[in-house]
Amino acid sequence: MAQTLLALEPAALAEWVTSHGGQAFHAKIIRKEVLERGVLDYGEMTSLPADLRAALKADLPILSSTEATRTVARDKAIKVLLSFPARGGTVEMVHIPPPDKDDTRGATLCISTQVGCPVGCPFCASGLGGLERNLSADEILEQFVIGRSVGPIRRAVVMGMGEPLLNMEALNKALDAVHDEMGLGSRKITVSTVGFPDRLHKAARQKPRFELAISLHTADDVQRDALVPAMKGTSIESILAAGDDWFEQTGREITYEIALLGGENDTPWHAERLAERLNGRRCMVNLIPWNPSPGMSFNRPEAGTPEAFRDDLIARGLVATVRWSRGLDGDAACGQLRQRVARS
C-alpha cells in the first residue's frame, strides 16, 4: 500500500523530508499548506525547494482517495463520492455553503467515519449494504482537507456514513489534527450517533473535541427497536441517562435528532411522548424531514407537519428546529449519492 502524506505523523513526515534533501521545518510548511489552506498540489507550495517538491510529487501522494463522482445541487451543496483504491470502499462527504451568498464565514462540511454502516436503519440508504470497514484516521482527516480545498469551513458535522462511536479511536485522532492544525474548534464540530450508552459514558470522560447529537428518531421503545435495529433492546431511558451524564461531564447540551417519517413518527402523540421524555433536560431537538431514496417505502411528512411538530414541542417547553436537507435535487441529501452509484 502506497504511503500518503496524511498517514504520516508530523515527526515521521519530518524524517521523510530530511531523507529526501529537505529541512525538518519544511514538514511544518507542508502540513500547514495542506491542513490550513487545503492545498492538494505540491506544485503550489512555492516556499519549498523545487527538488523537494518534485520528490514529494513522485513518492508521497497527499491523499489515499480518488474522487469518483461530484454532484452540485442548485443550492450549491457539493457532494463528493470518494473511492479508496488501496483499501477498498467508497464514502460520501458534502460541502454545504451558507444559504446567504454574501455570508463569507465558510461552509458546513459533512463527513463519514465508516464504509457502509452497521446500524441498519431501514430509512437510511447509506447502510443498506451493511458495514464494510472502518475508515482510518487519515481517511477521515482527508475528507476535511478535501472540503477545505473547496473553500473555507465554518463548522463540520460527522453525520455522513457510519456510526462514529464504533470508530472513535480513529475519529478522535483525526479531530486532534482538525482542531490543532486546521483551527476548527470543538464547538464547531458535531458528532451524530445512535447513542450506544457505554460508549457515550466513555467518550464523555475523554475530553471530547466535539458537540454531541443523538439520533433518537422516536420516543417509543418498540418503534425505536424497528427504526434502529442495532440498538434493539437498548432502552431509550438508558440512552437519555447517558446523555445526562455527557452533559454533567462536559457541560455541553445535546441535540436530539428525529428523522421525521410521514405517518410513522410525526404525529401529535409522538411529539407529546418526546416532550415527556425530554422534559427537564438541557437539550434541543432537531427535526429532519426524511429524504427519499430509491427502493425505500417511507414517505416525507405532509406539508406543515414538521412545523406543527416543532411548535408542539416548543409549546411544551423544548427548544426545537426543523432542518430541511440541502442539495436534494443534486443527490446530495443523506445517503443518496452512494446508493445511486451502488445501484448503477
Positions marked catalytic: 92, 334
Rounded to an integer, what distance in angstroms lies between the CA atom of residue 150 and that of residue 96?
10
Q: Which residue has the cell 465558510?
A: 106
74 Cα distance to chain centroid: 22
H/E element holding 59? helix 50-59
End-to-end CA distance of the chain: 28
Mark residue 66 as left, alpha or beta (left: phi above 0; alpha: psi -120 to 50; beta: remaining).
beta
Q: What single DSSP character describes residue 324?
A: P
Beta bridge partners, 213, equal 192, 255
Q: How many CA atoms lie within 13 A of 209 on its CB side?
A: 17
H/E element holding 109? strand 107-110
- Residue 232, Cβ density class (10 Å: 0-12 exposed, 13-18 middle, ≥19 buried): exposed
Angle between helices 168-180 and 137-150 (to 10 degrees): 40
Joined together, the cell numbers standing for residue 44 give: 503550489
Rounded to an integer, what distance in angstroms lies between the CA atom of residue 27 and that of residue 37?
15
CA angle 20, 26, 32 (to 5 degrees): 130
Do 110 and 156 form a contact (C-beta atoms < 8 A)? yes
Within 10 A of 20 (CB to CB), how many other CB atoms are there?
16
